[in-house]
Chain A
Amino acid sequence: AQSVAQPEDQVNVAEGNPLTVKCTYSVSGNPYLFWYVQYPNRGLQFLLKYITGDNLVKGSYGFEAEFNKSQTSFHLKKPSALVSDSALYFCAVRDPYLYTGGFKTIFGAGTRLFVKA
């Protein structure tokens, strides 16, 4: 069965510094990987996804993520953090094979990002 881990409950970074939010996964075959963000008092929003192709995926708001198959990771990155990036970030994985993974998307527990001015 597929699973996803976000090892950090919270990440603190100063505005202007690069940020990384970590995600590792476990799934049979090649995974579909997603990052979503939840801003305070707002719903979940899609940031980016990896399905196939280039390992470096670019998404909304200047975020990017790198798929690393050997390390089974999909870390979220941004070169220069903004205070407005402060939010709860969720990594998610879907097994693309219907007969092993069904239709489920499994979400990580979330990582809260604090960006200080």
Chain B
Amino acid sequence: GAGVSQSPSNKVTEKGKDVELRCDPISGHTALYWYRQRLGQGLEFLIYFQGNSAPDKSGLPSDRFSAERTGESVSTLTIQRTQQEDSAVYLCASSFGTSGGAPQETQYFGPGTRLLVL
């Protein structure tokens, strides 16, 4: 079956340019997460979407980062005026989530987008 897909797989950009990363979650998954993984480091939570609830944006590192999600489908992560420290692998994950209770479901990860800011 189809898993989480992300595009592009690789992105090289110049400092100061804007980039947009895309995530297609598994069909039926109401919860969607974005993480950042810098080279040699762990996963850093960025943002979480659950159904029609307000997203948890508490992990976004600055106001240059934003994300949107259309209903319970595609999500885009936008980084404006990219900086070299934004270079990382950006991972998207989705899960069934829950309604009314704490989410506990397993997250399924996409292959990631490797971003390099020159």
Contact = CB atoms under 8 A, between A and B. Distances in A.
B56 A104 contact: yes
Contacts of A90: 42-43
Interface stretch (B18-26, B64-72, B73-81, B106-114): B106-114
A40 interface: no
A32 B104 contact: yes
A98 B56 CA distance: 11
Interface in B10-50: 31, 33, 35, 41-45, 48, 50
Interface stretch (A11-19, A42-50, A72-80): A42-50
B109 A96 contact: no
Interface residues of B, number: 25
Given A98-B102, A102-B56, A107 B107 contact: no
B102 A105 contact: no
A96 B81 CA distance: 36
The range of chain A's interface size is 20 to 34
Interface string A18-52: 00000000000000101010000011111001010
A46 B107 contact: yes
A104 B45 contact: yes
Interface string B89-105: 00101000000001110
15 contacts: A34-B106, A34-B107, A36-B107, A36-B109, A43-B109, A43-B112, A44-B109, A90-B42, A92-B43, A94-B103, A98-B102, A101-B102, A105-B45, A107-B44, A110-B41
Given A107-B35, A107-B43, 5 more contacts: A34-B107, A43-B91, A96-B104, A105-B33, A110-B41
